[in-house]
Amino acid sequence: MSLRRTLSFLGRFTVIVLLSCFALYILVPILWMISSTLRPPMDSFKLPPAILPSQFELENYQIVFQKVAFGSFVYNSLKISMLSTALQLISSSMAAFAFARLHFRGRNVLFIAFLASMMIPAHVMGIPRFIIMSKVKLIDNHAALILPAIFGAMGIFLIRQFMLTIPKSYDDAAYIDGASKLYCYLRIVLPMTKPALVVIALQTVISTWNDFYGPLIYINSEAKMTLPLGLTVLKGVFMSGNQGVILAGVLLSLIAPLVFYLFGQRFLIEGITLSGLKG
């Protein structure tokens, strides 16, 4: 018995050592990024690379704001991700309510058509959408990035799945009391759908914040760029000169998604379970 216990202890110890090695693989580049940004600009390429910060120069962070419109990048990213998310939540929850709660002809056909749209790759839609946006003069305009959020098949699907788990007797009771469909949606079903709404909000806000392809094709002027696109400008200016500045920009751009995540971490895991892993 004691041999067995020793073996199991050794097994656990090995597992912890191996997992910690992998954790180092994840963490070391991040630590290196942080330390590199805190070096004075002239030491940018000096070897050995710093893993733990030994200096605390903030000059790189100042340069980021001086040389590119970094403040605008942050503002644009916030604006676009917030508005897209709001649009997506309103529109998807309304559609989900119709699919989960109301009877109408063609409901299943339409639902399947919506779902089928998820099969179309982003790069197939990119070309015609760009042409549409240029026809309506929305190139280099944030609306080109925000408006498509009005339709989100994944959001509709997840919210509908969640609404189906809410007993219909709540609605029926309200209808007997003379409530309208709108009242039932706003006051009865929506409040109970909150967990699914939070999941969709988080997923949308993070994926919009991180989107690179959309801004890349629609936005041209520096003042209108989002963070991921703006960083390419920063990279263009400093790649051969000072990598500390670029890394400072990259690090600053990573803060928001992490904050979003910390805020809703337990909901995100719920979302993965919700998205129908069980097939």
Partner 1 sequence: MSIVKHRKNPNHDAQAAWLFLLPSLTGFVLFVVLPFIMVIYLSFMKYNIITPAKWNNYKNWIMLTLDKRFLLTLGNSAKFVLLLVPMHMLMGLVLALGVNSLKKNKALVFGYRTVFYFPTLLATSSIAIAWSMVLNKDFGLLNYYLGLLGAEKIAWLNSSFWVYPATMLFSLWKFVGGYFLYFLIGLQGIDKGYLEAAEIDGATAWQKTRHITLPLLSPTIFFVFITMMIGTIQIFDEPYMLTGGGPGDASRSISLYIYETAFTSQKFGYAAAQSLILMVIVMIITLIQFKTSGTLVSYDRE
What is the residue-wise DSSP string for 208-255? HHH--HHHHHH--SGGG--HHHHHHHHHHHHTTT-HHHHHHHHHHHHH
Rounded Cα distance, 32 and 44, in Å: 12
- Residue from 151, 179, 195, 237 touching partner 1 (CB under 8 A): that is 151
What is the DSSP code (8-state) at residue 184? I
Q: Measured from the CB of residue 97, what is the shortest distance to partner 1 in angstroms?
A: 5
Cβ closest to partner 1, residue 22 vs residue 56: 22
Contact 207, 155 (CB under 8 A): no
Site string for partner 1, 43-62 (x = CB under 8 A): --x-xxx-------------
Among 2, 54, 66, 279, binds partner 1 (CB under 8 A): 279
User: Quick one: which of 6, 134, 165, 220 contacts partner 1 (CB under 8 A)?
Assistant: 134
Q: Which of 119, 178, 221, 266 binds partner 1 (CB under 8 A)?
A: 119
The single residue among 10, 55, 107, 194 that binds partner 1, judged by CB under 8 A, is 107
Does residue 95 touch partner 1 according to CB under 8 A? yes
How far from the centroid of its chain's Cα atoms is residue 173's Cα? Answer: 38
Q: How far is the CB of 51 from partner 1 (least distance, A)?
A: 8
Span near partner 1 by CB under 8 A; candidates 54-62, 64-72, 172-180, 193-201: 172-180
Instruction: Tell the smallest beta-carbon distance from residue 185 to partner 1 (Å).
Output: 7
Quick check: 117 binds partner 1 (CB under 8 A)?
Answer: yes
| Tokens describing residue 150 | 């009005």
Is position 164 an interface residue for partner 1 (rule: CB under 8 A)?
A: no
Q: For residues 42 and 113, which CB has a smaller minimum distance to partner 1 in the complex?
A: 113
Q: Alpha-carbon distance 227 to 225, whole Å?
A: 7
273 binds partner 1, rule: CB under 8 A: yes
Does the protein bind partner 1 through residue 75 (CB under 8 A)?
no
Q: Are 51 and 35 in contact (CB under 8 A)?
A: yes
The SS3 call for residue 173 is: helix
- CB hemisphere CA count around 179 (13 angstroms): 17
Member of 213, 222, 223, 263 binding partner 1 (CB under 8 A): 213
Q: Please name the helix (run of DSSP H) or strand (run of DSSP E) that holds residue 115, with its range, or none.
A: helix 107-116
Residues 217-256 as x/- pattern, contact with partner 1 by CB under 8 A: x---------xx--xx--x-------x--xx--x--xx--
d(CA 21, CA 14): 11
End-to-end CA distance of the chain: 42
CA–centroid distance for 12 within its chain: 35
Q: Is 126 in the site for partner 1 (CB under 8 A)?
A: yes
Q: Establish if 189 lies at the interface with partner 1 (CB under 8 A).
A: no
Based on the shown chain and the rule CB under 8 A, indicate whether residue 80 belongs to the binding site for partner 1: no
